[in-house]
Structure 1
Amino acid sequence: MKTNRLPRSRMLTLFVFLLVTVSARAEKPNVIVIIADDLGYGDLSCYGAKSLTTPNIDRLSDEGLRFTSGYCSASTCTPTRYSLLTGTYAFRGDRTGIAPPNAPAIIKPGTETVASLLQRAGYATAVIGKWHLGLGGENGPDWNGDLKPGPLEIGFDTCFLLPTTNDRVPQVYVHDHRVPNLDPADPLWVGNKRPSPEHPTGISHRSTLKMDWSHGHNSTIHNGISRIGFYTGGHAARFRDEDLADKWIEKSVEFMEQHKAEPFFLFFAAHDIHVPRMPHERFQGKTSLGFRGDAIIELDWCVGELMKTLDRLKLAENTLVVFCSDNGPVLDDGYKDEAIEKIGNHRAAGPYSGGKYSIYEGGTRTPLITRWKGRIQPGVSDELVCTIDLAASLSALAEQPLPDDACLDSFNVLGALLGERDAKGRDHLVQQDNGSSGTYGFRAGPWKLHRYDKKKARNIVVETELTNTKVPRFQLFNLNDDPAETKDVIQDHPKVADRLKQQLAEIIEQGHSRP
C-alpha cells in the first residue's frame, strides 16, 4: 500500500515556515482596549465595591494586573478619548472639549493614532461603541451622506459607532461612513435650535418622559428620554437605548470572528455607565444602586461576552486586554435616575475626592487592568500609568517607531503594563478637566499640584457634585499622606510647589513631554 509522503526537504521547509509563522504571530498579540464611560475607581468589586459584584471584570483582575495608579488624562470623555488615541494631551488640540452633536472630526486625517500605528504593523483595526470625537469636515457631519473624515481616516479599517454620546442627539448608528437603515424619504436633520414651535421637547412634553431630566437634557425626545440638541427624521435608523450594549457585543464578536487568523486591534468603547442610564431590561433592578448600578452590571456582562469569545476562538493566550475608563464618576449628570438617592454606602470614586469634571484624583484615577494570559503574571501594580501611554506602548509592542512629531505626550510604559520585573511607569502626569480651561492637576511622585487659572473648581465631592467652588490658583497635596486631597500643604512646602509649578508650565509651553 502506497502512502503519499512529502520529501524530507519539503517537510523541513514546511516545518520552518510554520515555525516562523507561529513565531511572528506570537510577537503580534491581538489587542483589545475596553474603555468604560464615567466608571469610578470604587465602582468595581475588584477595586473594593461592596454594594455590587462585577465577576467578569474581577476575572480580568484575577488573571491579570490591577493598577492602583492607573489614570486617564482628563476628567471628561472627549479629551480623554482624544488623548488615548493620539498620545497627545488634549489641551494641545483645538476643539477638544466635550463635543456637541454636529462637531466636525476633531482628530484630523493623517494624525498618528494607536489605530494607524497598529494598522501599519499589519493589524486589522476596529472601533465599536461610543465615538464622541466628531465626524465630517469643517462644516460638520453630512448625516444623510458620507460621514468622513472619521475613524477610517485615522487608522481604523472599520467602525460601528454611537456618533456622539447618548445624552446628545442623534440616536442613530454610524457604520463606516454611513448611517445604516436611513430612509431617503425621511432625511435626518440635526441642529442646535428648535426646528419648529410644535417640536416636542423635554420641557413642553415633560409628562410623557419615562426618565425625567434634572438639568440641561430637555430638548428632543426619543424613546421617552429628552436629550441635548435637536433632530428630526431618520426614524427607521434610530435605535433603542436599552439595546446599545447588545449591539456593541454583536458587532465586536463579528469582528473578532472575521479576523481570528490575523492580529487585530479592537477599541471597544462602551456607553455604560454614561447618562442616560437605560440598561437592557434583563439588567434593570439587579442592584440596589438604581440604573447606575444596573449599568455597571451590564458593562460587566459586556466584558464577560468578549472574554467568552476569546476563549471560544482560542485567542485568550494571544490577546492583550486593557480595561480602563474615560474619566471618574458622576451621580446626577442631568437625569433623575435615583443615582444619588440609592447610593447608600457605595463610594463611586473609592477613597478619592472629586469625580467627572474634576482634577481631584477621583476625576482621573480610574480602574485600569491589563491581562495577557501566559505573559502577564497576575498581581497588583502601584506603577503610574495612563491611557495616554497606550500609543507609545502599543507601538513598541508592534515594533513600530514613533515619528518625532506624533504622540507628543505618550510614554512607552509597556514593561509596566505587562508587569515585567523592575519595569517603571511614568514619573509625572498632567491631568486636565475639559478642553483648555486652564485647570490642571500635576502629579509627580507623591506630590499633586492643582492649578486653577480661573480660581474655580468643579465636582469636589462626587456624591453631591459641588460646582464652581472658589479656590486659590494653586494648591499642593501629598498623596501618600492625604490621598483624598483634603489638606492643602502649599504653605508648608513652598520649594516643592515652585518646582512643580515650573515643571508644569514648561510641559504646557514646550508642546510635548514624551522622552
Structure 2
Amino acid sequence: MKSIPFILPLVTVPLSLVHAEKREKAEMPQSPNVIFIYADDIGYGDLSCNGAKTICTPHVERLAAEGVRFTNAHSAAATSTPARYAMLTGEYAWRRKGTGIADGDAGMIIRPERYTLADMFHEAGYVTGAIGKWHLGLGDQTGTQDWNGQLKPCLSDIGFDYSYIMAATGDRVPCVFVENGRVVNLSPDDPIYVSYKKNFPGEPTGKNNPELLVMQPSHGHNQSIVNGISRIGFMKGGKSALWKDDQIADELTHKAVSFIEEHKNQPFFLYFATQDAHVPRVPNERFAGKSGMGPRGDVLLQFDWSVGEVMATLKRLGLDKNTIVILSSDNGPVVDDGYKDNAVELLGEHKPGGPFRGGKYSSYEAGTRVPCILRWAGRVKPAVTDALVCQIDWMASFASLLGIDLPEGAAPDSEDCLDAWLGKDTQGRSYLVEQNAQNNLSIITGEWKYIEPGEGQPFNKNVGIETGNSPYPQLYNLYKDLGEKENVAEKYPKQVKKLSRQLEKIKDNRVGLPLE
C-alpha cells in the first residue's frame, strides 16, 4: 500500500478496502481501454485539425473528426518535466521542489509513495504500460544510478506494470532505452558511465570536436556525441545499447502496438509518450524531406504516422469502439531548441503556436494551450469545444468514469471534469493555474488571464520566444484578445487585485475557494 505525501494532515485509507467494490465494476469486460498519446513540443498550430495549412496530419484529423477536439486545453506547465509530473500525479509541479526540467541522471522525481494515475488504473484492474519519453528521473538519487544493473526505483514502483522508455529525453544522455528498469541491449563488456558534472577522459564532445558532428548545435547541446549528435551531459560506453535517432519513432510505436496486442483481452491503460517533435529531430527516411519544412516538419508527419499505427491496431483487433484515446502535448512549440536543423529558415508561413502568443517556456497561451482530442467511438459524439480543461484533471476525471474514490491526499489539484472531457459540459474548469519555465505563475478564469510579476528575462534569445516574465502585473481579456497583445492591468486594477488574491490562495493550498 502506498502512503500519500500530504500537503495538509490527512488520513491514509487502505486502498484494498476503499476500492474493492469499485474494482469489481472496473474489471467487467465493458471497461474501456485508455490510451494517452502524449506528443512532445507539438504546438496547437502544428496539426492540420487545428487549422494548419502548411502541414497535413490526416490520422490526427480523422481522430479529431471522430471525437471531441478541444480549443482551450492546457498542460499544467510550459516545459516537459513539470507538465508530466502534474499530469501523472494530479498535483501542480510548482508545489514540489525538484520538479524542474530534469537532467538525464535525475533521481526518480515521482517517489514510490506517491499515488499516481497509473496506480489508479492498476487499482481498477487495468494492465498499465508506459512507452516512450519519460524525463522524470530514474533511480533513488541524482547521479547515483547503476545504469548497468536494475534501476530502483523505476516505473514499476509507481503503478506501471510494463515500461519501455527513453531514460530521459532525446537531447540528454544516456541515449538508451530502459525496459522495466534495465537498459536494453547492454553488453556487460562495455558498461555505461554517465556524468552531468565533467567529461570522461578521452571522450569527444561537440564543443571540442565539431568535425565529428552530423548536426551542429545552435546553443548548448555541445557535450557527449552520440550518433554524430552532441547532447547535454557526458556519457561513456554502452555502444550496443545506444538508440538510433532515426529509428526512435519506429521502436516506440512498435512497442506501443505490441502492448495493445498482448493485452487485447483485458482492460489496459497505455501512456504512449512520443519523442516527436523534440530535438534532436532526426526523421526516419520515410519522412525525411517530405514536409518541405525541414526535420521539424518531417517529424510532425512521423508523429501522425505513429497515431495512425495505434488507431489501425485498435481497429484490426476490434478494440476501437471500446478504447478511449486522448491525444495531447506536454507543452507548446519551439522551433530552434538547440540544433541547427533549418527549422527557423524553412518555417515559412507555418505558425506552430497557432493564433497564440509565446511558446514552450512561456507564460503566454502558446506555452500551455496545446492540441487535445478525446475519441470514444459510439460513446462520445464528435464536437469542438472551448471548455477550459487541463491535463492535471485526467486523474480525477477518469476516477469518476471508473467509479473510483481516490485516496485521501492523492491528486490534490485534480478536478473531476469528466463531463467536459466527454463533450457534455461546455464550461469546464472555473479557473486554471499555469507555470512557465521560471516557475512564474498565471491564472485563467472566464475571460481573464492574470500573469503575476516575476523574475527572468522577457525574451529568451536562444529559442526566440517571449517568456511572459515581467516585474509588472499583466492582465489580458482572452475573449477579446486571444493573442494577448494588450495588457489591460492598468485599466482594470480591481480585476488584477482579485485574481492576484485568488492566485495567492491557491499557492497557500486554500484551493476550492470561490473567486471574490
- SS of residue matched to 1:109: coil
Measured against aligned partners, the alpha-carbon deviations of 1:144-197 in whole angstroms (never above 9, x if no partner) come to: 111111211111001000010110001110000111211111110000244345
| Structure 1 residues 455 and 275, CA gap change in structure 2 (3 angstroms) | closer
1:115 aligned to 2:118?
yes
> Residues of 1 paired with 2:137 and 2:494: CA distance?
43
Amino acid at match of 1:465: I
Amino acid at match of 1:486: K
Amino acid at match of 2:375: R
- SS of residue matched to 2:432: strand
- SS of residue matched to 2:29: helix
> Residues of 2 paired with 1:151 and 1:161: CA distance?
10
Aligned equivalent of 1:358, options 354, 362, 385: 362
> Residues of 2 paired with 1:359 and 1:352: CA distance?
11
1:267 aligned to 2:266?
no
| Structure 1 residues 514 and 109, CA gap change in structure 2 (3 angstroms) | farther
Alignment of 1:78-477 (within 5 A): 78-139=81-142, 140-420=144-424, 422=425, 424-434=427-437, 437-454=438-455, 456-459=457-460, 464-466=464-466, 471-477=470-476
Shift of 1:397: 1.4
Measured against aligned partners, the alpha-carbon deviations of 1:339-391 in whole angstroms (never above 9, x if no partner) come to: 11011100000000000000100100010100000011001011111111111
Measured against aligned partners, the alpha-carbon deviations of 1:415-468 in whole angstroms (never above 9, x if no partner) come to: 111112x4641111000013xx44112101110001132164345997x3356x
TM-score (normalizing by structure 2) = 0.92
Q: Residue 451 of structure 2 contacts residue 474 of structure 2 at CA under 8 Å; is this kept in 1?
A: yes
> Residues of 2 paired with 1:339 and 1:472: CA distance?
32
Q: Residue 336 of structure 2 contacts residue 343 of structure 2 at CA under 8 Å; is this kept in 1?
A: yes
> Residues of 1 paired with 2:88 and 2:465: CA distance?
29
> Residues of 2 paired with 1:255 and 1:336: CA distance?
36
- SS of residue matched to 1:301: helix
Measured against aligned partners, the alpha-carbon deviations of 1:452-510 in whole angstroms (never above 9, x if no partner) come to: 32164345997x3356x872331100011111111110111111111100000110112
Q: Residue 27 of structure 2 contacts residue 126 of structure 2 at CA under 8 Å; is this kept in 1?
A: no
RMSD: 1.9
> Residues of 1 paired with 2:45 and 2:182: CA distance?
38
Measured against aligned partners, the alpha-carbon deviations of 1:301-333 in whole angstroms (never above 9, x if no partner) come to: 000000000000100100000000000001110
- SS of residue matched to 1:60: helix
Aligned equivalent of 2:64, options 50, 61, 64: 61
- Count of residues paired in the alignment: 490
Larger radius of gyration: 1
Task: Tell me what 2:5 maps to.
Answer: none
> Residues of 1 paired with 2:412 and 2:197: CA distance?
38
| Structure 1 residues 196 and 190, CA gap change in structure 2 (3 angstroms) | closer
> Residues of 2 paired with 1:369 and 1:514: CA distance?
30
Amino acid at match of 1:71: H
Runs of 4+ in 1 over 4 A off after TM superposition: 20-23, 458-462, 511-515
| Structure 1 residues 152 and 31, CA gap change in structure 2 (3 angstroms) | same
Task: Tell me what 1:490 maps to.
Answer: 489
| Structure 1 residues 294 and 513, CA gap change in structure 2 (3 angstroms) | farther
| Structure 1 residues 150 and 457, CA gap change in structure 2 (3 angstroms) | farther
Measured against aligned partners, the alpha-carbon deviations of 1:43-101 in whole angstroms (never above 9, x if no partner) come to: 00000111110000000000001001011010000000000000100001121000011
TM-score (normalizing by structure 1) = 0.92
> Residues of 1 paired with 2:26 and 2:150: CA distance?
40
- Unmatched 5+ residue regions in structure 2? 1-23
Q: Residue 410 of structure 1 contacts residue 514 of structure 1 at CA under 8 Å; is this kept in 2?
A: no
